[in-house]
Amino acid sequence: MSSTFGKLLTITTFGESHGPAVGVILDGCPPGIAVTAELVQRDLDRRRPGQSAVTTQRKEPDLVEILSGVFEGVTTGATIALVVRSVDARSQDYSNLKDVFRPGHADYTYWQKYGVRDHRGSGRSSGRETVGRVAAGAIARAVLEGVGARVQAYTVQVGDLVAGARELEFAEQNVVRCPDRAMAPRMEAAILKSREAGDSLGGVVEIMATGVPAGLGDPVMDKLDASLAWGLMSIGAVKGFEIGEGFAAAKMRGSEMNDRMTAAGFATNYAGGILGGISTGEPIVARIAVKPPSSIAIPQKTVDVHGEEREFAIQGRHDPCLCPRVVPVAEAMTCLTLADALLRQRAIESWRPRVRV
């Protein structure tokens, strides 16, 4: 099971939903970055369950402990280990699911792959695995902020409801994390209504990175958008990724889509901040499609490990719509991808011939 992401700046996450702890190792972090438990906690608190009525009611304080790699408030260049203990794991909620393949979950495929399964709360396939991503992402964010880059994600669609405005400060002031003042309460209402019906809703999260230097990413296999796609599609429940105009580009003509350059810089940004796999210096804009959570209260039919048909109802505490909590995870994966590309670029840019624009 590969739990590692990145090339020079790498993370490896660990931990099951109902095990004693989840966490991450961040390796390759440059020295001299100011990092404290509080800095990491800030992002973890945004991912934490039980924040509002639109998220799962599991109560986890998700307090991070830094086990290594930080000395007297700064990174030393050494491997950073971050651990979060779990406290509110109610494994008994899952005892009736021990031998059942829940539809839309990884139960069946995990069983096919490994032949064993930690059935408690999806084990390793749980969204709880993302605690480690968010913790490491907070440090990657600090690396990026050191060069003036800023990453924010927000919910732009819930079910049929699509945000128009992009008031980014507002996005962190409502439980749905929607940047549209008019749409946010409607989205919240839709999620609550869906939960009352025992059902769940999908949505779309947009990621915006500003201040990213030009020149990050590689032109062939490690195109910056390909790396972002890998990182963001590795988040559970994400079913699609697009950069810039994305699928809308299919309907455009070249004369429309080509971002014209002037002496003042790019006149448009249909490309979404990346050309030929390398950042242009313009804002990087990407979107991910988030499926409705598989865990719903409505009784469902399925089969068990013996191939017998069964009906079951899920009793655990679950998110009725994942978007609000995918937001910090999407930010984390974006920060990690960009910081890794930044480090790799540092490795070559000192060699760059001096004849420049």
Position 94 contacts its own copies (CB under 8 A): no
Query: What angle separates helix 37-47 from helix 323-349, to the nearest 10 degrees?
Result: 140
Binder among 51, 79, 96, 269 for its own copies (CB under 8 A): 79
Comparing CB distances to its own copies, the nearer of 50 and 103 is: 103
Binder among 45, 93, 167, 259 for its own copies (CB under 8 A): 259
Position 19 contacts its own copies (CB under 8 A): yes
Binding to its own copies, residues 220-239 (CB under 8 A): 220-223, 225-227, 229-231, 233-234, 236, 239
Q: Binding-site residue total for its own copies (CB under 8 A)?
A: 155
Residue tagged 């991503």 (tokens):
133
Position 127 contacts its own copies (CB under 8 A): no
Position 260 contacts its own copies (CB under 8 A): yes
Comparing CB distances to its own copies, the nearer of 169 and 253 is: 253
Residue tagged 């939960």 (tokens):
195
Binder among 38, 164, 169, 253 for its own copies (CB under 8 A): 253
Position 40 contacts its own copies (CB under 8 A): no
Binder among 3, 51, 96, 269 for its own copies (CB under 8 A): 3
Element (DSSP H or E) covering residue 67: strand 64-68
- As beta bridge partners, residue 154 has 206
Q: What is the total residue count of the chain?
A: 357
- Minimum Å distance from CB 37 to its own copies? 12
- Minimum Å distance from CB 211 to its own copies? 15
Position 61 contacts its own copies (CB under 8 A): no
Q: What does the alpha-carbon distance between residue 209 and residue 250 come to, in Å, rounded to a whole number?
A: 24
Q: What does the alpha-carbon distance between residue 132 and residue 22 come to, in Å, rounded to a whole number?
A: 7
Nearest CA to 3 among 32, 34, 33, 27? Answer: 27
Contacts with 284 (C-beta within 8 Å, 6 or more apart), sequence order: 207, 208, 209, 210, 212, 224, 228, 243, 272, 273, 274, 334, 338
Position 129 contacts its own copies (CB under 8 A): yes
Position 92 contacts its own copies (CB under 8 A): no
Burial class (CB in 10 A: 0-12, 13-18, 19+), 259: middle
